[in-house]
Structures are given as structure tokens and as C-alpha cells.
Structure 1
């Protein structure tokens, strides 16, 4: 009987450890509703395909299971899947998930078309692109437009799916790197899928001074403004103050000739201990 109780206790301890590990393998953040305005004054394109809330990031989750990282990005509108012949359940959104896995190193520059940089302590190590474009095209664009020094750290998933208000994908955990995902830093940028991007832009939609049928408004006609509608900020708990933190990160200044005087500078969001 004594031995039986010993096995029971050991089994309970093993279950507790397994539960702790499972919890440690999930990361979840929230973002306030209604802050899909970039630095505070960006507006949507006028075409009806861009429904209100289409670029309003509301949640982000990473869960590890069976050597895979399952990623979910929530936004504040039912996904539209009947435009532009896209086949993955969504069509107007494009999401960039930047991850800092190494506390001592990382890339400061953003990707082409975003017009952002990362603070020295927030350099990213991996970025996952969630696009409704065919995987082959996204990879080709990465090869043609992303600096060679960054390409190895850009992950284009084999499959991305949209359903309801969530865009999701799965990537191999080994492609992200070793470590505890609850200690990594994250930044999620909401952009728009552009099938006819500028020559140097990575399938991203521009922000101009005035909105147009397929252009965001409120920015600058040159390339000195951040082309980002929403992102994670603060503690990533969905507090209203995080909208102000977003506006601060995306603040920018342009020179008279349209070049950048002050580039929008981003930080990472971490799990609050």
C-alpha cells in the first residue's frame, strides 16, 4: 500500500510539472480596440473592401505543440475572403510578427515598405509574414527586396489561414530558435496586402497625405512616414493607455525634401511577470 501511494504521489508530481510546462509554452497579448490609426491620425482607404476594424489588432497568441509554434492574430472585423482572388480566407490584411529571441543581439532595421526601425534594445531575430498572397510570390518578393543579411531570419509559412476574426499559421519551432517563448519579445504590425506594391516595398500598402480608393491617408506622400496601422504596445493587456504608447512609437518627422528626419522607432512587448 505504501508503494502504491508513492506511485500516486509521483504521478501527481509529474502531472503538475507537465501542466507547468504546458502553461509556459503559451504566450498571449491583447491590444485596445479602436487604435487602428497608426501614429494617431491615419485613415482607411475609401473602397468598401476595407471594412472598419480590418486593421485593428485585438489579440496575439503563440502556443507550442508538438514542435510547432501555432500563431493567432485577432483583429476587429470579420475577415473578407471574396476579394482579389485570394485563397486563404482573408485578403486585405498583411501581418508582420517580429520576435526577439536573443536578448543580446538583433536587427534594428525594419522590412521594406514599413518605414520603421527598432530601438537598440529591441532588435528582432525572426519575423513571420502572414500574407494572403501565394507563398511562392511572398518568398520571391523577400529574395528580391529584403537585404541579404536579413533574409535568413524572415519566415514565410507554407500555409496561412483566415477564419472569423483570426489569421493563423503554424511554423516549426526550430526555425524560431531555442529558448523559452515566455521570455521572448514580440511586436506585431498590421499592414495591408498590396498586389501591386512599389518597386522597393514588400507587398505593403502605402500611407499618403490623403486617403484614396486603395491608399491609407493621414501620412506623407514621401516615404518618411511609418506604413503601419496598428501594433502591440505597453504591457500588451489591452489597456487604453497602450494606444498612446503606440502613437509615441509611431511618431515620425520628415525633412522638407521628403526624407526621414526621425524614423518611427519600435520596442518589443514581453509577458508581464
Structure 2
């Protein structure tokens, strides 16, 4: 296991300060807000720690209310909305400086047999043939807003091996492309000691899901992205459905597209497949997408 992955796991290991109240911390950040994927992942950890072990997360719906302060702890309060025979529902509010910054509702279910079908996995190259982030990102060091942005991106993504199938938005700024993108991802290290902890794998996928989903919006307009300075963006809401078991330390294909952008907002939707073709997760996110004047 890489040092970066161990640090991420420590970040997601919340401190319990009361029965249904947890405290999390953040990493120092180049931007003055907490990464949205971190808040969503930590909130799901808080919810999951109040649920019986035989119930697994099958969906989450969340809203980003205020930018998080990277320099302050985040307090997560869990409301036990319902404990049914098959389903458990939890609501989590993340608070900083006395104000809510994030709201999440999550549902958990006992295992059941049932109908089974899925959309087929799209074609994609073998992830092992694609450059890893530490190889790809430095190629475009000159397009970022200063060397500190590249250093921050490399550090922020060190725990995850994320590989673009096609050139990312920052590599082709000025060129309008189809609003579709694909990335392969997995943790930068094996999680064998956590094989019996399905919640952790779901939490890690939640963390990664906020990294690239809105990129397809940028491609449709030839914009370079968040580290280039030609677009200002932030997540507004985020929803995920976990369909089938998966491991976050094995390759997952994140197939993303944007059906719409309008009114200063853009929508991204995606499906996440295991390498052997099983549809594991569906994701939808809307974000603020503004062009600086």
C-alpha cells in the first residue's frame, strides 16, 4: 500500500465524539475549499457506522451547501431516519463554524436475490496501456496556472491511479469535442486487509467520483478546466447508485458524459464498470460552471 493511500484511509477514518456524531479533518489545499469528494466520502462513512453490518449502501443523494474550510474540522451528525426489515435510511449533515456545508441521505439494504440485467460496458482500451497520472500530468505543466497547481494535482491524486482514455480537457483547450470522457481508476495499492469491509470500497469510489465527472462539460466547449483558469466550477449536488459488488483496488471504468449545460450549471452523468464488464455504479452530478469575465 502506498503512503498516499494510507494517508487517504486515515483521512476517511472519522473520530466518533458521540453515538451519532463524528469529526473529520481535511488536507491542506491550494484552493480555499475542501474537495467535495472528501466531504461526500466522510459523510458516507459516518452514515455507515450507524448501520448494521449486514446492510450495504445502495444509494446516496447529496447537496453541497457551502465551501468547506480546509483548515477546520468537519462535524458530521447522523439522523437515524428509518430502520426497516430490509432497508435502513440515514441523513447526515456536515457542519463547520456553526453552519451546514453539506447534506447527505443514504440508503442501505440487506442482500436480496432478484431480477438481473444491465447496460453493456462500452469499449475501452486496457488501462495498463495508458499513462498513469504521474507520467501524464507533467507533460502539460505549462498549461496550468503555475507550477504549484501541477504539484497540488499530483499530490491530490497520488492515492488513486487514474488514467485518461483520451486526452483530458487541459490537454486540448480550444478544441471542441464530443461531451464524453472515460477514465480508468483504482487505488494506488491493494486493500486486501479491507476485503471484508464493503463500505470502504464504496466510500473510496464516492471519493474518486467527484474528480472528473464534470470534465465532459468542458470538452463540449473547448475549455481547459479547473486548473487552467478559463472556467470556475463547483459541485452542487451528487447522486450515486451502487448496483453490484466491486473492489476499489481493482480497475474500474468511469464512462462519463454531459447531456446539458445551461444557466451557469452543467450536468454530468456516468456509469462505472468493473474490468470484467459488470455495471457497478451509476452517478449523476450537477455543478456550477462559469466563465470568468
TM-score norm. by structure 2 comes to: 0.27
Q: Which has the higher helix share?
A: 2
TM-score by length of 1: 0.28
Q: Which has the higher strand share?
A: 2
- Greater relative contact order: 1 or 2 (C-alpha under 8 angstroms, separation 6 or more)? 1
Highest CA radius of gyration, 1 or 2? 1
